[in-house]
A and B are shown apart, each in its own frame.
Chain A
Amino acid sequence: MKIKNINLVSYLQWPVIMLVVLFVTACDEMLEEAPKSVAVEVFYNTAEEVEAAVNAIYTPLRINTFANYVATLECQSDWMYGRGSWDPLSQYQGLNDANITRVGGFWNGFYLAIRNANLVVSNAPKGSAISEADVKKYVAEAKFLRAFCNFHLVRNWGAIPLRTENNMAEKDLAKSSVDDVYALIESDLLDAEMNLPDTPSAIGRPSRWAAKTFLADVYLELKKYPEAAARAREVMQSGKYKLVQVASKTDFQYNLFGPEILTTTEEIFYFKYSRLDGQGNYILWISNHPSTDLFSYDGAYAVHGDKTNPNYVNWDEGDLRKKLWDNIDFGLGPNTLVSSKYVDPNAISQSGAGNDQPVYRYADLLLIYAEAAARSENAVSADALEALNNVRRRAYGFAPDAPSEVDYDAAGLTVTGFIDLIVKERGYEFLYEGKRWHELKRLEKVNELILAGKGKTVAAKHLLWPIPLSEMNYNKGLNPEADQNPGY
């Protein structure tokens, strides 16, 4: 071929081909994704990373879920009434769609926290730059929180799929028995008890004392009274906690449950909230009424009380805790009561109140001890009575640890009578803290006390919540007929 006959196409042929080749080889590199973020596979290596992963276990529990959860449980107590969409909970005839959806949200929240805990339990030991001690500490914290989730799941739903670090990737998982669930709860808490620090690095993290308190509660639930009493006694003897003394209703509102206190001597394990963006407590929106001016964002007074409830009628007027109910007629009649236990006039949004949410406080531990001790010893010991009296004195504004005029007397007190007093005291003490319904179930007093308090009979199906469809439909390990809780 003569050179002068080469036309422009031929001239361009090679450069074009080279360009194409370059482009082809460059392409696959260009298509690599390089996000400015971290992925599961490269995380959990340092103490800081593992701590951030542990922190993520709290998020699904704290944000809105827990406030709604507490309110849902309270609707089923013998004291309190749900309004609007919460009303069916107070009718005790099983859950309707709205409440099935709502409790389904709690299920999701607990299991999301369990997933985040399992990621820590599974990945932290593989970390490349983390000490053995730190691994133990963080795994213990993860297990504490996993136990917390399972303890709530098992009491509301009964037998459940038990998600551990060993089956966390299995889509289909059959239910484990209630006993198996408690076995894991116990072993997780024993690990936590051993490996959690005496004083945690931050308020809001569990200490070994929190683990012992939790363990005492679990043993009480399991009717292992000596173990419960022993754990509770250890906590009492540690000298780490004491009740906050109050003189007025306002002291309760601001010094014990207040939005601005960092912590109290009574705090064993709380979910911490703050007046920060998206980090506030939502329960104030649920409980408050706009007319009280105790919460800067009104309130939906969705769960309320009633003046005619015998528990309220028989409540001693001298008990400062009774004053945490305000009588407000908002359209449901003149006897309506609205709780003012949680107040924050300076909240930054509907879910922006600074009040912490108690999970275990010392008053709880004292009453756990009183009951467990009395039951295990089959006698009302002085220590047990003192524990109850501590709580009672404080409620009347007296020094918790000095004898007072409102003290119960050991004279003529049977174990049963003593436990009845504890149950009554717990009712007064833990209103709006989400404890009552589980307590009634544990004591097998659901029918009796709800009939007495609210004049309602409880359908059997109401005792367990339905496993949400989001689980039943997509977990092939469950049998839709046999594995759903009765009545749903």
Chain B
Amino acid sequence: MEYFTIYLLQVLRKGRQCNRWTETFRQCLPAPSVQRKIIMRINVVSLLLLISCLHLYANGNAQRLSFSVQHLTLEKVMDKIEKQSGYAFWIQTDLLRQSKKVSLSVKNQTLTETLDQLFSGQALEYSIIDKTIVVKKKAPPAAVKETVVPLIPEKKVRDRVGWPDRINREQRLQELQRMEREIRGRVTDENGVALPGVSILLKGTQRGATSDSEGQFELTIPDSGSPVLVFSFVGYLNQELSAGNRSILNVSLQPDLKALEEVVVIGYGTVKKSDLTGSVTQIKAREINAFPNANVLQALSGRAPGVHVRQSSGAPGAAISVRVRGGNSIQGTNEPLYVIDGFPVSGNPTQLNNADIESVEILKDASATAIYGSRGANGVVIITTKRGKSGRTVVDFETSYSSQKLIKKLDLMNAKEYAMFYNEQAVNDNITPFFSQAAIDGFGEGFDWQDFVFRKAPILTSSLNVNGGNDKTQFSISGSAFGQGGIIKGSNYNRYSLQTSIAHKVSDKFRVDFSSTLTRLTTKRKDSGGGSRGSSMINAAMSAPPTLTPFNEDGSYRVLSTAYPFIATDIRNPINFINEQSNEIRANVVLANLNLQYNLTKDLTLKVMGGIENRDDREDRYTTTGFFNSQGAAVVEAGQFTSFLNENTLNYTKSFGEKHHLSAVVGITYQDFLSTSIAGSGSGFLSDIFETYNLGAAATPNVPGSGYSKSVLASYLGRVNYNFGDKYLATISMRRDGSSRYSEGLKWGYFPSAALAWRLSNEDFLKQNTTISDLKVRSSWGLTGSPGIDPYSTLNQLTSGRTIFNDGYANTFAPGGVLPGSLKWETTAQFDIGIDLGVWANRLFLTADYYVKNTHDLLSTVLLPTSLGYSRTTQNVGKVRNSGVELGLDAGILKGAFTWNINGNISFNRNKVVSLYDGEDILRDNVGVIIINDATGILREGRPIGQFWGYLEDGYDDLGNIVFKDLNEDGSISQSDKTYIGDANPDFLYGLNSTMTFKNFELNIFFQGSQGNDIFNASAITNTMDYGFGLNMPKSVFYDHWTPENPDAKYPRISLRTPVRVSDRFIEDGSYLRLKNIMLAYNLPTQRLGIQQLRNLQLYVSGQNLLTFTKYSWWDPETNFRLDHSSYPAAKSVTFGLRVGF
């Protein structure tokens, strides 16, 4: 793929006055086949450079030239001429290569004189068009030497008879001159930016014109008939417009997405989308920035097949995890590797503002990820930030305001129902009912704790990007702010970031790129979730009695735990958490990269990259003396993480003959990871005024802590891409990684991959096919690894601690509970077969993949008999298998004035534990909520990861107690009666995005869903089954529980002795379909209104999470993957926004 880079540089060099490229380039084409090739090459770089540099003009005058050269390459001489004249050359690379060396001496000569002299000895000729000197192969003597008017016949004619064809030119012109008029107009791109150099042709003739620097054109057309103008420009779709009676015709050209062959960023390089051999999904800036999201991960949800985004809660800034093609690892991380502008970052890329992202590529199969070796097994997400583009400096500003609120409230008992409910429980448990009839009659709806805890909260975003440059230097600078309030008072998430990228061409051979992101992240958390019997804020919001209010008469906080004799001692008034407890994290994140690129030869480029990632964060937690039972407690934790990266790669690109294209990269990389931490805390404060800023004032200062950890990853990598005639594509890659984390002798691992692709649509038998426009089958296999373990895991370290003698501390040193073992990488072998199919000029484009991933040497927990003193060790023994199918579809359903595009994706993944140590089950996902303290999940051979494990219920006995199935028929209910009760894995995940535009309006609808996944609703254990502790519950518990009259009720008898177990009762269908976003936008027709300063202006209103279709009973199925345990609920929001470009 690197050959594009080489080519790109040449284009840059040759294209100083690229405004005339198209024209000149068409005229100089010797034959259609060659033309095709060059178009392709141009297309490759066009996204990066070509379009944007159209605005660039050189002011060189036709000066007289003087220089003297001896035996110099033609290229060098051209450079001199370019510099002196201000004219640019256009020449094909091949011709340049074939040219002879030149010796030439000119003194004060005109340009033409010089050029005549220069080319006299060469098999080349030239023509001057505007400020470009087009050089081509000397035509046969019969050919016309110079063409002035760009005449472009229709394609078919051209193909048949060759080109240029101007046999009857004179004659035709005469005819046309009889009745004529002038038509004028302006050509712009889809964003309203003037397009110079567009060719405008009067259909059916060879008469034409070219748009000027302002995009303006003028053309003489016949006054009668219905003259049709054909607008064509490289990289854009041809547009035919009837002139009618108009004398002014403004045109906006739409980019030709097919022709503008997209470049896809892959590991250590880029590749044309059509040349891809692996499975890579690209997500564009537009989708990532479609609606306010706290980070890029959230924005990926539903956008790419095979990518499952799981939010742990609805809290602002909450952790998000991403699974690419299922999870491979039981013990290690299953998160993909994130690479920002070539830097593999640690953890989630939350430092980036979504507005600063140009594109995201998700590498899924081994062919794509194996170049990342030991870190590639969970997929790789490559994030590319915005780069500078040469041309006019453009300024983009966008801002939005959202208002969020709780998606849904639970329908809980009101005060009257609550009192009756607990009276009934008291009767059942032979306790005197607490509430008198008079008291019950006096209760109404009571207090709504959900309304009290959850509020409306805003999200404010704004970003400003300034982008521009010239052919030597390009820059992009963005400043942005994202601020999200939480729907619980006192929680928020803020990010301020400054993104810079500068690229500079020092010389023709040497290029420097620098990019940096500086980010300040602050978040205040109010995510006291989990817990039981109202011990956490979220659980208390559900559990607090509706008969009570948060405040006593005197304004003090009501103590709920002693409000009634029967109420749980654990319950806390949520106002304590809201007002009297704070948790703030502030982080400064730096990511900076310097990239030096040197062209050793025209085929060989050396790249040296140095980068640093640094994160300094500090967390302050304070519980005031006003908190229930608190004397004030402060905790401060600070950490510093630094990662240095050095990558040195050699890139080689070469074409052999017409059909063989080879590109290769080899490299050596080094990255280290250093973490240090420090923590201090204390309790017992005289005053809350200190907060966390005077630990020394604590009555009880706690033991301070600090930590250190360092690891190193050293690697060799290599990859070869081979392309034969754009039909057969092959990729082979290998990475050798050495990591300090593994045991001696097991530190190094090899990660090879190979892929083949066949582009059938370029075969002769499909070339002429009018239905199939693109067809490629690809297949790959490779090995990737997963880091799995933390540094020092294989060492038998002692941990320090404290114990008490006398009345003070004494040091302790002992091993931990995990017996260290000899460990190596987890390795995943992945096979992928895929197909890319475009039909009807790619109006319908389908991508389908089938994959199988087998992970072996899985780091597995090996449980040890606890009498050993170690509870477990880790060994590379397990095997896990994931397989699945992914489908992605893009459809341009309607074109024209009303356009409608749909893209959808769906993915099916199945995973299975193939083997575990000794075939032993591993119980996990323990839920501890007082009445239940048990595992909810099991890892067992042959079953999926995410298998729920528990008891089956079998109705009620005569007393209204739950009957559990005695599966082993031993007459008692014990752990051995547990069985499979559900599966957290979805049958499939899907996303559907629809965009409709009509005139200046745009409507975007985005649905996302998950089907067939179960959720273990641990929230419901406390809040539907834990009777006798005064906890509020859903109305359904009150209205549908066991009584002798209602023996088939949903809930059992209301008694504190009702036995509860981890049973199928708590397994709920977590399927959902959610309208993630709906947006209506209006694009101000700035051109039509003649607002020259504005490039574009869009106003929009959108809604997030407005509709959810689900059977799930609790707050939200999306933010509670696998387990719902009173987590911060998700919000829906309405957004108003503005996007404006200057």
Binding site for B on A (CB under 8 A): 7-9, 12, 16, 19-20, 23, 27-28, 30-41, 43, 49, 51-53, 55-59, 62, 84-85, 97-98, 101, 104, 107-108, 111-112, 114-116, 118-119, 160-161, 163, 168, 171-173, 202-205, 262, 272-279, 290-291, 296-301, 329-333, 348-349, 352, 354, 468-471, 473-475, 478
Contact = CB atoms under 8 A, between A and B. Distances in A.
Interface string B789-804: 0011011111111111
A97 B974 contact: yes
Contacts of A330: 565
B933 to A, nearest CB: 6
Interface string B867-885: 1111100000000000000
B920 A33 contact: no
Interface stretch (B99-107, B471-479, B725-733, B811-819): B811-819
A115 B868 CA distance: 7
Interface of B: 431, 561-562, 565-566, 569, 600-601, 604, 606, 629, 631, 648, 650, 668, 670, 681, 683-684, 699-700, 702-703, 708-712, 714, 738-741, 747, 791-792, 794-815, 817, 863-871, 920, 930-931, 933-934, 974-975, 1061
Contacts of B814: 53, 56-57, 59, 116, 119
A35 B930 contact: no
Nearest to A58: B803
Nearest to B873: A171
Contacts of B866: 104, 107-108, 111-112, 468, 470-471
14 contacts: A9-B600, A23-B670, A31-B740, A35-B797, A40-B796, A53-B814, A97-B933, A172-B865, A203-B806, A262-B807, A272-B807, A279-B809, A296-B631, A300-B569
Given A9-B600, A58-B812, A348-B631, A39 B804 contact: no
Contact of A349 (B683, B811, B817, B865): B683
A329 B562 CA distance: 12
Contacts of A273: 804
B700 A7 contact: no
A373 B739 CA distance: 68
Given A115-B870, A276-B804, A296-B629, 18 more contacts: A8-B600, A23-B670, A27-B714, A31-B740, A35-B791, A40-B815, A52-B811, A55-B812, A56-B803, A59-B812, A173-B867, A203-B805, A205-B805, A276-B700, A276-B702, A290-B562, A291-B562, A333-B431
B792 A35 contact: yes
A465 to B, nearest CB: 14
B804 A62 contact: yes
A39 B601 CA distance: 53
A111 B869 contact: yes
Given A27-B714, A470-B866, A38 B601 contact: no
B714 A23 contact: yes
A331 B566 contact: yes
A49 B600 CA distance: 60
B864 A114 contact: no
Nearest to A20: B668
A55 B747 contact: no
A56 B648 CA distance: 49
Contacts of A296: 629, 631
A48 B1077 CA distance: 64
10 closest A-B pairs by CB: A115-B869, A56-B814, A475-B865, A277-B702, A202-B805, A56-B812, A204-B805, A55-B812, A331-B566, A52-B813
A274 B803 CA distance: 9
Nearest to A173: B867
Contacts of A203: 805-806
B867 A277 contact: no
Contact of A38 (B606, B798, B934): B798
Nearest to A160: B867
Given A56-B801, A56-B813, A33 B869 contact: no
Given A55-B811, A473-B863, A168 B806 contact: no
Contacts of A37: 792, 797-799
Nearest to B791: A33
A8 B738 CA distance: 31
A487 B703 CA distance: 46
Nearest to B917: A474
A202 B810 contact: yes
Given A35-B708, A296-B629, A469 B975 contact: yes
A277 B807 contact: no
Interface hub of A33, A173, A478 (most chain B Cβ within 10 A): A33
B683 A171 contact: no
A111 B864 CA distance: 12
B1100 to A, nearest CB: 51
B798 A279 contact: no
Interface hub of A168, A291, A298, A478 (most chain B Cβ within 10 A): A298
B580 to A, nearest CB: 16
A85 B803 contact: no
Contact of B806 (A115, A272, A473): A272
Contacts of B803: 55-56, 58-59, 62, 279
B748 to A, nearest CB: 8
Contacts of A38: 797-798, 813
A476 B863 CA distance: 12
Contacts of B712: 30-31
Contact of B709 (A35, A39, A57, A205): A35
A364 B815 CA distance: 35
Contacts of B805: 55, 202-205, 272
A119 to B, nearest CB: 7
Contacts of A354: 807
A35 B675 CA distance: 12
Contacts of B629: 296-298
Contact of A274 (B741, B799, B804, B930): B804
